[in-house]
Structure 1
Amino acid sequence: MIFSLQGIVQELTPTYAVINVNGVGYYTGISLMTSQKLVLNKETFLFIQQIIREDAHLLFGFHTRLEKEMFNLLISVNGVGAVSALILLSTLTLEEIASAILSGNGALIQKAKGIGTKTAERIIVDLKDKVQKFGDAEGNISSFENNKVKEESLSALEVLGIPKRTSEKIADRILKQIPEITVEELVKQILKNI
């Protein structure tokens, strides 16, 4: 399974790029968000999602790991294919998508070409609990690093027998106050506040 590609941008359009890795050109579908970060004939690094179908092996490239995660969440929804997910990622920012899902704003999701009312509703229902990592109830987006620190801290506390629900709210409060906190420090702070 291809996880990432590092190479020269050989061809570039708003919807796909060819990444030349040691003489082999990899055709990767991309969103407008990723396309804007790439420069023709310059070195790049992309996170890759490989989708293997009976008739094709497809590669989709993302400038950030967070964009790849959102893509995977979107394609997990019944009726949302890879192309629809890329169109949505090209139409709205990650923040807007997460905020629309959390607030139940189907009209905003429908701005993406090809996504109708039923699909938008399905995206909201299926992903409401899964996009919390992209933001809180107010739709504020936390950074990926904060998220990673939070996840590792909550896992460590679960090993110590502290339920995730108990520590999660405390973790969110502390991360808002001290965004650059380390895993070790966050675990200590949560233990103090329980």
Structure 2
Amino acid sequence: MYDYFFGKLVSKTPTHVILEVGGIGYHIHISLTTFAQIKEIETCKLYISFQVREDSHTLYGFSTEGERQLFNHLISVSGIGPNTGRMMLSSSSPEELQSAIINGQVALIQKIKGIGPKTAQRVILELQDKLKKQGSDSLLAIPDTKQTVPEEASSALIMLGFSKNQVEKVLSGIVQADSTLTVEGMIKAALKKL
């Protein structure tokens, strides 16, 4: 829903900030990593992860796109909520945490408060392949959002409710038949076959 907020930092603590954007003060939870990067500045841009629960709507802010992306991966793991994800990112740098997950270092992840051996193993099991595919430098640079024509068509079809495997199979056939199609042309051709 929200990508980022840019505004004036009215209040800063190691756990949260009040960011004034357009005359509205937003209470945003942050990690210690983000706090270390923004504690000396007056205005900043925070990448937002908006978490909706039955009893609360909470904003989590990160100084980099990569840290937010890792946070979203962490909270996708069963048993890890937003507060635990923030604790994990506060206990070690995002780069160290990502490296520990990719290299399967259960002991290092287990040292984080609130993370037991089973949860550490689950984090590695569920995220290791995803993070390997992204590459070790995904936290350092903002990922390139430019997609190829088939990738863009695939994303659109998956958002329409078709399964990823089904979409990829149909699109690979369409690309082999005519690789010069536009995104719209590819989607229309795929919809006829799905």
The 4+ residue runs of structure 1 with deviation greater than 4 A are 149-156, 158-161
- Find the aligned partners of 2:6 and 2:145 in 1 and give their Cα distance: 26
Q: Which of 138, 141, 147 lines up with 2:137 in the alignment?
A: 141
1:56-67 mapped onto 2 (5 Å cutoff): 56-67=56-67
Q: Equivalent pairs: percent with the same residue?
A: 39
* Other-structure match for 2:113: 113
- Find the aligned partners of 1:15 and 1:91 in 2 and give their Cα distance: 12
- Look up the equivalent residue of 1:122 and give its one-letter code: R
Task: Please identify, of 4-13 and 40-49, the stretch whose mean Cα deviation from structure 2 is larger.
Answer: 40-49
- Find the aligned partners of 2:149 and 2:111 in 1 and give their Cα distance: 37
Residue pair 1:4, 1:45 contacting (<8 A) in 2 also? yes
Structure 1, residues 110-142: CA drift from partner, whole Å, max 9, x if none?
Answer: 12111111110000001011112553xxxx535
Task: Please identify, of 32-41 and 15-24, the stretch whose mean Cα deviation from structure 2 is larger.
Answer: 32-41
Other structure's SS at 2:129 match: coil
* Other-structure match for 2:10: 10
- Look up the equivalent residue of 1:78 and give its one-letter code: S
* Other-structure match for 1:75: 75
Shift of 1:11: 1.0
TM-score scaled by structure 1? 0.71
CA 1:112–1:153 in structure 2 vs 1: closer, same or farther (change >3 Å)?
farther
Other structure's SS at 1:148 match: coil
Task: Give the structure with higher Rg (CA).
Answer: 2
- Find the aligned partners of 2:3 and 2:145 in 1 and give their Cα distance: 22
TM-score scaled by structure 2? 0.71
- Look up the equivalent residue of 1:144 and give its one-letter code: A
How many residues are aligned here? 156
Residue pair 1:11, 1:40 contacting (<8 A) in 2 also? no
Other structure's SS at 1:59 match: strand
CA 1:152–1:71 in structure 2 vs 1: closer, same or farther (change >3 Å)?
farther
* Other-structure match for 2:48: 48
Q: Which runs of 5+ in 2 are unaligned?
A: 153-171, 177-194
- Find the aligned partners of 1:153 and 1:92 in 2 and give their Cα distance: 38
Structure 1, residues 82-122: CA drift from partner, whole Å, max 9, x if none?
Answer: 01111111112222112111111111111211111111000
CA 1:40–1:24 in structure 2 vs 1: closer, same or farther (change >3 Å)?
farther
- Find the aligned partners of 2:128 and 2:54 in 1 and give their Cα distance: 31
Task: Please identify, of 34-43 and 84-93, the stretch whose mean Cα deviation from structure 2 is larger.
Answer: 34-43
Structure 1, residues 38-79: CA drift from partner, whole Å, max 9, x if none?
Answer: 146711111111111111110000111111100000000000
CA 1:5–1:124 in structure 2 vs 1: closer, same or farther (change >3 Å)?
same
* Other-structure match for 1:174: none
* Other-structure match for 1:96: 96
Structure 1, residues 7-52: CA drift from partner, whole Å, max 9, x if none?
Answer: 1111111111110112211011100111111146711111111111
Structure 1, residues 153-188: CA drift from partner, whole Å, max 9, x if none?
Answer: 9949x7855xxxxxxxxxxxxxxxxxxxxxxxxxxx
Task: Please identify, of 118-127 and 106-115, the stretch whose mean Cα deviation from structure 2 is larger.
Answer: 106-115
RMSD of equivalent CA atoms: 2.5
